Amino acid sequence: MTATGTTALPGVAAEAALAVPGVAALQPRLARRLAAAAAPTRADTTPPEAGVRADRAPDGSGWHIEVRCVLTEGRRALDIARIVHDRVTAALVTHLATHGAAEPVTVAVTVTGIAAWRDAA
């Protein structure tokens, strides 16, 4: 593979997921959150790509991407998850093709929570 690796794919996936209306944020996996909590300096600037995991398929034939989303309330979670799935898949396929690495991509979207919307008025 050329310049595309595990480090570039989470950023592409995070950008595509966060562009979907109804996605409030991406949530890091538990291990990342525990590591951040144990860090001596509490920097609450977790990058969005921390909510995305990119792994090579076990047989090396492509990529498996997991996106962990927190959604805004008032929308059907299933509809938003499907849109996130489709947009992330399209963005990754385009990204890989642009870098000469046209490989299969499977995307799993997990809804980890619903963010309550509060009116500031």
Q: Along the 121 residues of the chain, how does pLDDT read in single tens digits?
A: 444 455 589 999 999 999 999 999 999 854 444 455 555 665 556 677 889 999 998 888 899 999 999 999 988 999 999 999 999 999 999 999 998 888 899 999 999 999 886 655 4
Residue 69 lies in a domain: yes
CATH number at residue 68: 3.30.70.1350
* Short-list 54, 67, 69, 65, CA closest to 112: 69
Residue 105 lies in a domain: yes
Residue 71 lies in a domain: yes
Split into its structural domains, the chain has a count of 1
pLDDT of 99: 87
Nearest 5°: the CA angle 11, 58, 60 is: 75
Match 């310049």 to its residue by tokens. 3
Residue 6 lies in a domain: yes
pLDDT of 29: 57
The answer to whether 17 touches 84, Cβ cutoff 8 Å, is: yes
Residue 49 lies in a domain: yes
Residue 121 lies in a domain: no
pLDDT of 42: 56
- Its domain, for residue 93, covers 1-38+45-113
Residue 10 lies in a domain: yes
Residue 120 lies in a domain: no
